[in-house]
Structure 1
């Protein structure tokens, strides 16, 4: 078993918090990963599976258990049953942005707007990563995984993963447990072969973010370059020289609220309707049909509202700190990112997060939910 000397999690997570665990295993191959997980699960040890560490908020105390680092890498090109498409089977430990770079270089479309997102490929389906109108659910075919319950390996189609807005059956939502306790071993995506020619871009959200009109044509490489530049301006591309990137990305999720609640918010609060829910199909037996078909009722769609807008309009601006000397603060570029300005403890960051939640709740009547997985820390 490839045990290694435990490294403090503050050195392995982008929010830079957490002590050294009791035990650490580095898994460079699928066999090593499967073997490590089966062993620690059989022993009943607490286990933390660690990829890029970009979606974790770890407490100050040492993790009392085993950290298994997923370091598997590799991309396998597979045929697709759809003309003009190709499938990529990618190992879970492969860097997500490295995969996007590979796809763009190969002229494959479908994930280019998700350039610059930190973390690993295996973590991407867990919270259905997305940006600028693209989400992994749009290209995901299946995952290979190992279940904690029985240690068995299986291939599961995307339709069975409960993929929704920043969620899946694997996601540890704050205050709850995942619907399925398993670890992803590999991910298979289906991407469109578009080459490097310029083309018009489907998706209003992506066009708006890039300043494109409906008839403007650009290449996948152009999209990647501009998304990276946009994210860098917000401090959302990892940069060791920039404390604004010492974060877990967007710390709070954009809130999903009812249409009725959304109407109580100021009209200028940015919002986006979610897919409306239609009534189930009404089946009328032929012998009972009297010529009248009851009208189907279109229910109001839930609404996604901007957490960043709510934070700033609750009086908490970019760069905010609770005290001048605090080592935890909001990014100076992005009101959704809690940042470690250098040596901040998890307790300091949690205090800031609770303060933001309280101000937004007091001003607007809703509690923002954290997006990272919290380990050994409470809000």
Structure 2
């Protein structure tokens, strides 16, 4: 089946296109290598009256066992253009880790701590991806996208993207409206690496002089691999969507109750400032103290043996298996601490 300018396939399995390796097929499926194909896919879906879902690298996605009844459009727009002075314009279909490798090799700082994160460039502004002391929004200048409402391509400034913790215009206020096709980044040419995160400070404690950007990116990948957060074929701990729960932001006044729940004092509860009167708590700490430790779970879905926040497909897991484990964890943490955790991956179907 084909559209005039868009090759379409039917009943395409989605599980192999996700890092979770879970889920049923897409009723319709297409790849977009140009902006024209993106516009054609939107027009076709509207004409057929079917829902359209944009697929990047499939690293933050959990697909229902029944699959998806609409059109899945996989972003394949390529290209990394160095514009000088640390500015790069990158196609949304490019591998994120591939772009990080290119940037650090060019001695441009700003995303070295985001090495090893799976998925595509186009997905990073949507979730405002962050790790090890950096967030992608710190380096984004603008995002080019197809506006499904205006039926035109637009260039959105950093301010217009409304970035905040693990969120942006694209996954909150205007979810589904924009399809990201390119992202422009401003990195620091010749800049020094960011070493805010404790794991990295420990790794380079004896390093003199300051480690290179390439060395920091390699260290991040090594740390991620040790935690099962680097995609390695054949490793069951890698059949996941990374961190499954967001670090909750709660009122600072709740800290005494959290401390009381574990028989400790407020100073014993790890937290970070998160706006006026609020703090951010590590979800992994909450899980572990509610009894959900590494390796927890019986059956095909469980918690990673190396990373408390990653729910994994141990082999043959279904959406229902993961959902059951998620519900158990959310309920357990809420009973223990009065805090309700939020899921991080997108659910399709």
Structure 2 CA distance for aligned equivalents of residues 242 and 202 of structure 1: 29
Change (3 A) 1:42 1:160: farther
Structure 2 CA distance for aligned equivalents of residues 149 and 10 of structure 1: 30
Structure 1 CA distance for aligned equivalents of residues 61 and 347 of structure 2: 6
- SS of equivalent residue, structure 2 residue 257: coil
Match for residue 13 of structure 1 among 15, 18, 33: 18
Aligned length: 337
Change (3 A) 1:159 1:165: same
Partner of 2:111: 111
Partner of 2:231: 238
C-alpha deviation, 1:56, in angstroms: 0.8
- SS of equivalent residue, structure 1 residue 371: coil
Partner of 1:320: 296
Change (3 A) 1:179 1:52: closer
| More strand per residue | 2
Structure 1, unaligned stretches of length 5 or more? Answer: 80-84, 278-299
Partner of 2:133: 133
C-alpha deviation, 1:213, in angstroms: 8.0
Partner of 2:306: 333
Query: Is the Cα–Cα contact under 8 Å of residues 240 and 312 in structure 2 kept in the other structure?
Result: yes
Partner of 1:283: none
C-alpha deviation, 1:115, in angstroms: 0.2
C-alpha deviation, 1:137, in angstroms: 1.0
Partner of 2:184: 188
Partner of 1:261: 254
- SS of equivalent residue, structure 1 residue 263: helix
Residue by residue over 1:136-163, the C-alpha shift from the partner in whole angstroms, topping out at 9 and shown as x without a partner, is: 1110000111112132111010111110
| More helix per residue | 2
231-240 vs 70-79, greater mean Cα deviation: 70-79
C-alpha deviation, 1:200, in angstroms: 6.9
Structure 2, unaligned stretches of length 5 or more? Answer: 1-5, 260-265
Matched, 1:366 2:339: yes
Query: Is the Cα–Cα contact under 8 Å of residues 253 and 369 in structure 1 kept in the other structure?
Result: yes
| TM-score between the two structures when normalised by the length of structure 2 | 0.91
Query: Is the Cα–Cα contact under 8 Å of residues 201 and 217 in structure 1 kept in the other structure?
Result: no
Match for residue 342 of structure 1 among 312, 315, 318: 315
- SS of equivalent residue, structure 1 residue 64: strand
C-alpha deviation, 1:374, in angstroms: 1.4
Partner of 1:251: 244
Match for residue 355 of structure 1 among 312, 328, 331: 328
C-alpha deviation, 1:38, in angstroms: 2.8
Residue by residue over 1:310-368, the C-alpha shift from the partner in whole angstroms, topping out at 9 and shown as x without a partner, is: 101101110111x3xx1000000001000000110100110000000011011111111
Structure 2 CA distance for aligned equivalents of residues 153 and 200 of structure 1: 34
CA RMSD of aligned residues (A): 2.0
Structure 1 CA distance for aligned equivalents of residues 307 and 53 of structure 2: 29
Structure 1 CA distance for aligned equivalents of residues 63 and 75 of structure 2: 17
- SS of equivalent residue, structure 1 residue 238: coil
Change (3 A) 1:262 1:26: same
- SS of equivalent residue, structure 1 residue 66: strand
Structure 2 CA distance for aligned equivalents of residues 200 and 26 of structure 1: 36
Structure 1 CA distance for aligned equivalents of residues 310 and 24 of structure 2: 22
Matches within 5 A, 1:205-220: 207-208=200-201, 210-212=203-205, 217-220=210-213
Partner of 1:27: 32
C-alpha deviation, 1:105, in angstroms: 1.1
- SS of equivalent residue, structure 2 residue 258: coil
Structure 1 CA distance for aligned equivalents of residues 51 and 193 of structure 2: 49
Structure 2 CA distance for aligned equivalents of residues 178 and 210 of structure 1: 40
